[in-house]
Amino acid sequence: MQGKSYLLLIVGFSFLYFSYYFQNIFVNAFNIIGTVLILISFIVIGHSLSQGIYTQILLLIHLFCISYWLGSFLPFKYMCNIKNYENLYLVAHNFGIYATFYIGLLVITGLIFSYFLLGGILPIITSTYGNVLICKLLLVSSVLMIGAINKFRIVPNIKENLSLGQSKLKRSINIEFMLTWFILFLTSILTTSLPTPMGM
């Protein structure tokens, strides 16, 4: 299965790479195909196979939402470094609207997926896997709280005080970015180093 996953990753990234050489309708097609193949590569191995198609679909949706979330960090960091306050407000405001749906879906699918892997609620306390998962959930909650502050306080302030709002948003994104690295580190431990309480 690992060989299949690596093959899907290579082909997926190849599609994304070659999309830069097209200036027509093939750009979107190559980007979509490449992204889908990369996402699928994560569900053909590991814990997502534990409950068959159900956990695979959950993980696929979860990964799609994560890619939307994480993919916003670098563009926002770039926009915070240029003097284009009006566009920054517009993009950040619209992102916050869409993010409400995506982040909600991310949390729901993540919790259901975790329940399947744990086999219940008690193992989250009694198992090493569950303890590491708690640490991850605490970090995710912190990032979501920062995101809520961005949406309801910092982004609206960009319109009031452009320079200060931009500075605060940049600082907030840097904190989110740092916390995300810790989340990804814990995720790698959960997926590669620890068996689930159900022994998978």
**133 and 79 co-located in one domain:** yes
**26 and 58 co-located in one domain:** no
Degrees to nearest 5, angle at CA 183 with 139 and 158:
65
In a structure prediction context, what are the per-residue pLDDT tens digits for the chain, which is 200 residues long? Answer: 567 777 887 888 888 888 877 766 778 888 888 888 888 887 776 666 666 778 888 888 888 888 888 888 888 888 888 776 678 888 888 888 888 888 889 999 989 888 888 888 888 888 898 999 999 999 999 999 998 998 899 988 888 888 888 888 889 999 999 999 999 899 888 877 777 776 55
**114 and 139 co-located in one domain:** yes
**112 and 164 co-located in one domain:** yes
Predicted pLDDT at 47: 63
Q: How many CA atoms lie within 13 A of 190 on its CB side?
A: 24
What is the tally of structural domains in the chain? 2
Q: What share of the chain is helix, strand, coil (3-state, %, to 5)?
A: 85, 0, 15
Predicted pLDDT at 87: 82
Where in the sequence is the domain holding 159, given as residue range(s)? Answer: 52-192
| Best CA proximity match to 62, nearest among 97, 121, 96, 113 | 113
Measure the CA–CA gap between 111 and 165, rounded to whole angstroms: 33
Measure the CA–CA gap between 114 and 136, rounded to whole angstroms: 11
Measure the CA–CA gap between 186 and 193, rounded to whole angstroms: 10
Locate tokens 């009694």: which residue? 126
Name the residue type at position 17.
Answer: Y
The answer to whether position 197 is within a domain reads no
Q: How many CA atoms lie within 13 A of 63 on its CB side?
A: 17
Tokens, residue 30: 């190559």
